[in-house]
Structure 1
Amino acid sequence: MNTPEHNPFVWQGRTDSEEVGDSRRWHHMVRPFDAASQDGVALIGFAVDEGVRRNGGRPGAAEGPRALRGALASLPLLGEPALWDAGDVDGSRLGLEDAQQALAGRIADVVAQGCRPLVLGGGHEIAWGTFQGIARAHPDRQRVLIVNLDAHFDLRMAAQGNSGTPFRQIADWCHAQGRPFDYHVLGISRFANTQALFDRAAALGVRHRLDEELQSARQLAQAQAALADDLARCDGVYLTLCLDVLPAPWAPGVSAPAPLGLPLAHVEALVDQVMTSGRVLAADLAELNPPLDEGGRTARVAARLAARIARGFAAR
């Protein structure tokens, strides 16, 4: 876990000292993860954006975990489970592949103590590390459904892994292991993915829903019905949320802001549906880029979603 030289985050924030009743906030509740930590949600930072650099994107997401913790610190406690901070995987000290392996190991560690991992990114190369952690921690789960809320398939071919390759890497691993590649992505933009990526998604049996097909309440209901079928067939879920699935006015602080994106209320409804399944093994949020985040808007939205996920784990 983090040691003093790693500059760990200090949880502090608003305190309503004159309030009557329970006025606790996240900074009152979060404790360092250690050998005695059990149950609840363990926050793991993935302070890495090397994959974004390799993919030709705008770097800065390595600062995401600290900014997201800062936005979480003063959120009110309303049904969260025990909250633990398991520190950061520091990309400045590790190469990308080593950082992904370190993340996988840390996920396996917190799961071994009965905690649920909630990983704070970092670029979407986070997904390959998170998935490897799930595979280590739950070797018996053969059909792990990946639910990705994202404007991009992230199925690229490349000589080196990057923020655009993680789900193709997972597909390759599943094929090598003789396991199904079960991938359902919502929010895909027809203006941010090449024909090659649509073709690869079709060849791999990826279920997807376009951003333009998720704008109305009727369209959301149709997407949720299809997602419910997938949730019923799996024996575990990996929920991954790329913040560039949101419209640029809501989430300017990402490498590739979305001109359309999904309405925040629809994103929250999909997150709630996945969490209500009771089958989520781990979750992460990717692409928070603080240097590009006007007024901290993206960090606040990310904190809202992270808290929603944590409360969803508590309601299992």
Structure 2
Amino acid sequence: MLSQVIELIETKRRFAITSHIRPDGDSLGSSLGLYWLLRALGKEVEVIMRDPVPHAYSKLPGAADVRITPAVDRDYDAVFVIECSDIERPGLKGLDKQFVVNIDHHSTTALFGTVNWIDSTASAVGEMIYNLCKAIGVRVTREIAECIYTALVTDTGSFHYSNTTERTFKIASELVRAGVKPAKVAENVFNSHPWSKLDLLTQVLSTLKRDPSGRVAWMRQTLEMKESAGAFEEDGDGFVNYPLSVGCVEAVAFLKECAPGVYRASLRSKGNVNVARVAERFGGGGHRNAAGCTLRGGWEEIERTIVQALIEAVEREAEDTPRRPLLIFDDQEALPEEVA
């Protein structure tokens, strides 16, 4: 499908680029990388999003040019939709009436575009944009490099996740040669948070629990927590990874209340525990070790349902893979129900 994308770019002139609501490092980095690529070819292009650019990505080249809009309200030859599971994810009215180019690296993505370029071997859509640069003959400028590097470093968890490959490091090396300063990117993305994020994290961690085996952990973020911390929507990004830093924890759920009775579940795992399958059961999707879904109901019901699904996923992986037995605790050393 890459050839179809190239042909479209070469024969058309006016484009828009968008991605999912609450944009993250890969969605914004890839969108802006493609923006600079198309500009280098002399195309008319703009990045449109329903939600504002989060503070962590506000210093990306071109971030100030992102237009916030609730609808696709201008005429384009095509709209590139980056890293979205379906046509609804960008939250833009009228998108379904456009010529859509669907670009993603999630194997669970619906083929909703007129053109669908899906590469589940890519660590991030940023890899795909880099490959497009090479294939179409555009020099990787500093602007393109910074955007793509941000996509890679965020979607691989700073090159920690299992989606990191030899190809990922080769591309990252080329991006550094093109002018990326890794320390500067890390400072902007990971070390420039507002105090509200730390306040919110303190409250969220106070809800942290794990099952008796110690392999599954979960925590929640309520609307009240967000309000009391004066937090932004993106301040909860990355919280799901904290419990996964514990050695014996193999799967984590972070349940974030988006509206009364509506919860976004961010799921993470280690090794072969497949949380994408768990997310798919509830209408979501993602990668084996990083996925998400939206659930509706009461707190206790939602928590019980998603935690049980994670326990089953961990047990399923344990049956398929020989492992050393976990330490068994007696009554006096029982795992606490809540971990502050």
Could you state the TM-score of these two structures normalised by the residue count of structure 2?
0.29
Which structure has more relative contact order (CA 8 Å, sep 6+)? It is 1
TM-score by length of 1: 0.30
